[in-house]
Chain A
Amino acid sequence: MKTSFDDKDIRILRALRTDSRKSLASIAVDIGMPHTTLMDRMQKIKRIRPRFTTLIDFERLGFSYRCIFMLRVMQRIQAEKIAMMPNINTVSFIDDEKHIMAEAVFRNILEVEEFREMLDQFHDIRHFYILEELKRESFMSGV
C-alpha cells in the first residue's frame, strides 16, 4: 500500500531534515501541531524508513581527501563489494544498472592511489577530487 503524505507530514519531515535530534515535543511546538497528532504522523513517516544520521566534517577528523569515482561494473555484486569497503561513504547506481558513482574518504594521497589501483579491474573509471563541500543534504531542510 502506497503511503501518501500531506503538507503536515512534509513539515515534520522538513523539521527532522533540519535537525534530527530535536525532540518531537519541540517540533510539535515549532510547527504548531498537537504532540499526539505528531506522534501519530510519525508512525506513518516511519513506514518510509527514514534514517537519522549526523553529517560530520571528515577533514577535521584527519580525512583530508574526498573523492568521487564513476565506473562500470559487470555485476551487481561487484558494486555491493565496493560499497562494503571501509573508506566508502556513498555508492549509487547511475544511468543504468552497470554504472556506479562512489564517494570515498581517505587520510592521505597514498590511500587514494591504493584505492584507485584496486579499481583498475573495472572499466570506464573516472576520478574526481572533492575540493570543497558547498552544500549537503539541504533539500527539504530549513538549513
Chain B
Amino acid sequence: MTSKKDLLLLVSLRKNSRETLTRISKATTIPVSTIYDKIRQYQGNLILKHTTLVDFSSLGYHARTNILIKAQHESREEIKEFLLKHPNVNSVFKISNGFDFMVEAVFRHVVDVEGFIASLEKRFRIERVENHYIIEDIKKEAFLSDSQLLDLV
C-alpha cells in the first residue's frame, strides 16, 4: 500500500522529474536520504521511466497519429514484435473492443504515415486499420501530477 508521502513524491516527479531532492524534500517533508532511497527502490517497478515530453513538431516531425489495428490471430505476435522495434512508434497498447493494438507513431510527414500503414497491411494479416491524426495535445501525462488533486483520486 503506497503512503500519502510516497504519492506526494511521485506527484513531484510527475510534475518535474529533474527537480532536486532538496526541493522535493521541502515540498513533501520527506528527508532527502529517504527520497533518494525511495526513488532507487521504486525504479523498475512503480517508476517505469524518467523521461522528457517534447513537442515533436518543433523537431520537424509534423505527423503524429494514433493507429488502431485489428489483426488476424496468427499475426498478432509478429505485429507486436514489429511495433516494439519500430523507431517511429512512440507507444503501443493492447486494447479491447474490436481492435488489438493502439499505436502512437511519430513521422516527419503525412506521406510517411501512409507508407507505414501500407507496409503493415502488406506485411501482416491485418483485418482493419483506423488512423487518427493527433491535431493538438490538450493534456499529456497529467494523472497524479498535481498534488491538489490527490484527494480526489
Contact = CB atoms under 8 A, between A and B. Distances in A.
A93 B95 contact: no
Contacts of A127: 97
Interface residues of A, number: 65
A86 B149 CA distance: 6
Contacts of B60: 5
Nearest to B100: A131
A105 B14 CA distance: 15
Interface of B: 2, 7, 10, 13-18, 39, 45-56, 58-60, 66, 80, 83-84, 87-97, 99, 101-102, 105-106, 132-145, 149, 152-153
Question: What is the interface of chain B mostly: helix, strand, loop, or mixed?
Answer: mixed
24 contacts: A10-B59, A19-B50, A51-B53, A52-B17, A52-B53, A53-B16, A54-B13, A54-B48, A54-B51, A56-B14, A60-B46, A62-B2, A86-B153, A90-B140, A92-B66, A92-B138, A101-B132, A127-B97, A128-B102, A133-B92, A134-B92, A135-B92, A136-B49, A136-B91
A49 B89 CA distance: 22
Chain B CB within 10 A, most for which of A79, A80, A100, A140 = A140
A93 B80 CA distance: 26
A74 interface: no
Given A20-B51, A21-B17, A50-B52, A138 B141 contact: no
A88 B143 contact: yes
A53 B94 contact: no
A68 interface: yes
